């Protein structure tokens, strides 16, 4: 079964069209002001509408307060909210009580202890996205984590990997981890926030031809 492929941090209609044409299964829109891929809610809503049902759309939020989370979901109408900050299971459960939405939780994978601690998201997050531990920003930095940490891990939740993936390393990352979903942002850009269609195509080819 080829892995699901999510292109995150799309900022333009052209990038959305290319992701769909090339066959990505998911796209991500970032609403987080410090990010170079930040979209205001009306721009995110327009890109989400453009995607229609051709791909699943994730809205990435970082520690957004409840009112903002509600407003963002109501405005953008994503299929998924990707919580990419330090949101607790209680936080995500509270959001899900108000809005029926698929919730992904990004986890900065530092060591084996992280794999134990993240069990508290079981039954609350619909997918865990393993990423590199937070740097200056909590994600989107092109930083890898140690893939070998997942080698013998028995997964108890749906999951995927992110963090420093690119067309040259994604096949090795899938081989090392067995990831059913790969998520990339920096690795398919020509400049921060600008997606490169050739890199998007190369990433999909590498992820699917293993
Ligand atoms: O893209 C961002 O700017 C961003 C900001 C804050 C949190 C997460 C962010 N991006 C997500 O981080 C992972 C890994 O990205 P990369 O491939 O290493 O650049 C991915 O899910 C991005 O969408």
Measured in Å, residue 210 CA sits from the centre of ligand 1 at 24
Interacting residues of 103 by C-beta distance below 8 A, sequence separation 6+: 80, 81, 83, 92, 95, 96, 124, 125, 126
Interacting residues of 90 by C-beta distance below 8 A, sequence separation 6+: none
Q: pLDDT-derived band of residue 167, with 50, 70 and 90 as boundaries?
A: very high
CA distance 18 to 44: 16
Q: b vs e for 128-137, b when ≥16 Cβ sit within 10 Å of the residue's Cβ?
A: bbbbbebeee
pLDDT (average), residues 140-165: 95
- Which H or E run contains 191? strand 189-191
Q: What percent of the chain is modeled with pLDDT above 70? A: 100
Angle at 179 between CA 173 and CA 182, to 5 degrees: 75
For residue 53, is it left (φ>0), alpha (ψ between -120 and 50) or beta? alpha
Residue-level pLDDT at 9 = 98
pLDDT at 164 over 70: yes
Residue-level pLDDT at 137 = 87
Cα-Cα-Cα-Cα dihedral sign, residues 37, 173, 134, 71: positive
Predicted ipTM? 0.97
Residue-level pLDDT at 193 = 94
Residue-level pLDDT at 113 = 94
- In ligand 1, which atom is closest to the CA atom of 38? 3
pLDDT per position as a tens digit, 61-93: 999 998 899 999 999 999 999 999 999 999 999
pLDDT at 21 over 80: yes
pLDDT per position as a tens digit, 88-134: 999 999 999 988 999 999 999 999 999 999 999 999 999 999 999 98
Indicate the average pLDDT of the chain. 96
pLDDT (average), residues 13-22: 98
| Fold topology of 4-208 | TIM Barrel (3.20.20)
Measured in Å, residue 177 CA sits from the centre of ligand 1 at 19
Q: Is the CB of 162 under 6 A from ligand 1?
A: yes
pLDDT at 210 over 80: no
Q: Is the CB of 186 under 6 A from ligand 1?
A: yes
pLDDT at 44 over 80: yes
């Amino acid at each position: 079964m080829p892995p699901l492929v999510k292109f995150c941090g799309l900022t333009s209609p052209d990038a959305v069209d290319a992701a769909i044409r090339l066959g990505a299964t998911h796209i991500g829109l970032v609403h987080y002001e410090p990010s170079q891929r930040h979209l205001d809610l009306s721009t995110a809503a327009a890109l989400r509408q453009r995607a229609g049902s051709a791909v699943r759309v994730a809205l990435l939020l970082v520690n957004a307060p409840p009112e903002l989370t509600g407003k963002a979901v109501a405005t953008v109408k994503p299929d998924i909210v990707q919580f990419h900050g330090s949101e607790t299971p209680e936080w995500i459960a509270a959001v899900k009580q108000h809005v029926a939405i698929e919730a992904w939780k990004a986890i900065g994978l530092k060591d084996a202890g992280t794999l134990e601690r993240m069990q508290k998201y079981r039954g609350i997050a619909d997918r865990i996205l393993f990423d590199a531990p937070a740097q200056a920003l909590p994600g989107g930095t092109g930083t890898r984590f140690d893939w070998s940490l997942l080698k013998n891990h028995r997964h108890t939740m749906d999951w995927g990997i992110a963090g420093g993936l690119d067309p040259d390393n994604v096949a090795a990352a899938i081989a090392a981890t067995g990831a059913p979903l790969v998520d990339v942002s920096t690795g398919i850009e020509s400049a921060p926030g600008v997606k490169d269609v050739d890199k998007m195509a190369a990433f999909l080819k590498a992820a699917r031809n293993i």
